[in-house]
Amino acid sequence: MEAYETYQTPLSSRYASKEMAHLFSPAHRFKTWRELWLNLAIAEKQLGLPIPDEALEQMKSNLDLTAEQFDVAAKEEKKRRHDVMAHVHTFGQVAPAAAGIIHLGATSCYVTDNADLIFIRTGLTFLLKSLAVVISRLSAFAAQYRALPTLGFTHFQPAQLTTVGKRATLWIQELLWDLRNIKRARNDIGFRGVKGTTGTQASFLTLFDGDHDKVEELDKLVTKLSGFDYAYPVTSQTYSRKIDIDVLAPLASLGATAHKIATDLRLLANLKEVEEPFESTQIGSSAMAYKRNPMRSERVCSLSRHLMVLHQNALMTSSVQWFERTLDDSANRRITLPEAFLTADIVLSTLQNVCEGLVVYPRVIARRIAQELPFMATENIIMSIVKKGGDRQEAHEKIRVLSHEAAHQVKNLGLENDLIARVRNDPYFSPIHEELEQLLDPQTFIGRAPEQVDKFLKEWVQPALDEEELKVAVADGVKVELSV
């Protein structure tokens, strides 16, 4: 019962994937700290510091924390009011031969900042793979419905026809831009490295008796051991918090894309043209048993708004870092960074679930087209009657009058659009009566939409997903099942 008596964030308790939730877990964080301390010790020994092999072996053997070690660290932090030193002490208890050299020459940000950069880079990789799967699923949907005519909307008012698949490509294109932006952010991530308390590496210069070359080599070695190609050339005590801005910006942009897609789907659900998946035992409303609420798309919108505003935290935190650092970033970043990644992870998994189960209702779509298409076909009718020898201005006036009569039937009397019946009953239009069915074929109103879908998927989507890591992600991607 104790677990139910304390607040837990729904991001991890209800929605997030196990992989993303684990990435920002205490167990993974503090194991990463220990790995960073080990890498530092290995590099320092390699460059001549007297660190015994036994110390390294004990550190390697105790990278994972036990429940007892977490208790020790908690007690130490309460006493010392310093989380890093609490964990230095705890690590030293299980690796006593290394107790005197753990964290040698380093400042707290050696582990905290470098670990954050590791988590950010890994988290962005998780998101890239998830996003690739979403794009793949939505692309299959676009291909399936590439030529299905549907009413277009501008200002959410009926406009010219498009196709269900073409509309989906508009969503996919924005997701491709998000893929590009997240990839750029991931590939730009560097390592803080070993820079010391204000970024001058003074402590390491002292350790190596003023040997600048060894200090530079230490930075390179630790960076390589930690899996990075390069370290930021200059830092203060922390890596620049502008990096967090650059990371959260594409995630916020992804939130905007997801919100737009989910909003469109919510509107289509209201029109009963397209619906998200709905289980046979799912309840839409506790009061109105008939309801089929688009709760998945609503969840995407809800969490996307949260994702978009988190970027503001990074902007404000970066702007108020005084000189070489202030600590007012710490508590904020402990919340903002994990929440951004967990929220983006949930948005993508929910969006994937929706895309994998979208239901299209062609007959409803056709009925709505039939209600609006007669008005849209009036120009074609005028052109056809002119080709048969009619007068353009006279034809225009005839159509105008009949259109207003039909609009009266629809708007004032709540009846169906009978414009075409009126055209058929008017002797003036008898020369084109046999052509009316062809003039009203929805396929003649969709322009190049099907061809645009084919070209877009072939020339833009497929090359983007053909990159090896994304190709593997799509191939290995499994259907998302939501637990709530």
Helix H or strand E encompassing 162: strand 157-163
Gap between the Cα atoms of 380 and 432, Å rounded: 11
* The 3-state secondary structure of 263-320, one letter per residue: HHHHHHHHHCCEECCCCCCCCCCCCCCCCCCCHHHHHHHHHHHHHHHHHHHHHHHHHC
Q: In this structure, what are the phi and psi dihedrals at residue 274, rounded to the nearest 5 degrees?
A: -140, 140
Residue type for 170, please? Answer: L
One-character DSSP codes across 315-349: HHHHHT--TT--GGGHHHHHHHHHHHHHHHHHHHH
Radius of gyration of the chain (CA): 31
Q: Which of 285, 404, 408, 430 is catalytic?
A: 285
Contact 159, 178 (CB under 8 A): no
In which residue are the tokens 């964080």 written? 29
Give the relative orientation of helices 392-411 and 378-387 as an angle to the nearest 10 degrees.
150
95-to-25, 58, 61, 64, 90 alpha-carbon distances in Å: 23, 5, 8, 12, 9
Residue 253 bears catalytic tag = no
Q: What residues have CB less than 8 Å from 94, skipping those under 6 apart?
A: 58, 62, 69
- In angstroms, rounded to a whole number, what is the distance separating the alpha carbons of residues 89 and 83? 10
CA dist., res. 6 & res. 400, Å (int) = 68
Number of residues written out for the chain: 484
Residue 388 corresponds to which tokens in the numbers above? 């048969």
The tally of CA atoms less than 13 A away on the side-chain side of residue 263 is 12
Tokens of 197: 């308390």
- Beta-carbon contacts of residue 213 (< 8 Å; ≥ 6 apart): none
Tell me how far CA of residue 54 lies from CA of 41, 68, 160, 414, in angstroms: 12, 23, 76, 87
CB of 368 closer than 8 Å to CB of 273 = yes
Question: Is 285 one of the catalytic residues?
Answer: yes
Amino acid at the residue 403: S
The contacts found for 385-392 with CB under 8 angstroms, 24 or more apart, are 385/428, 385/429, 385/431, 385/432, 388/431, 388/432, 389/431, 390/428, 390/431
Residues involved in catalysis: 155, 285
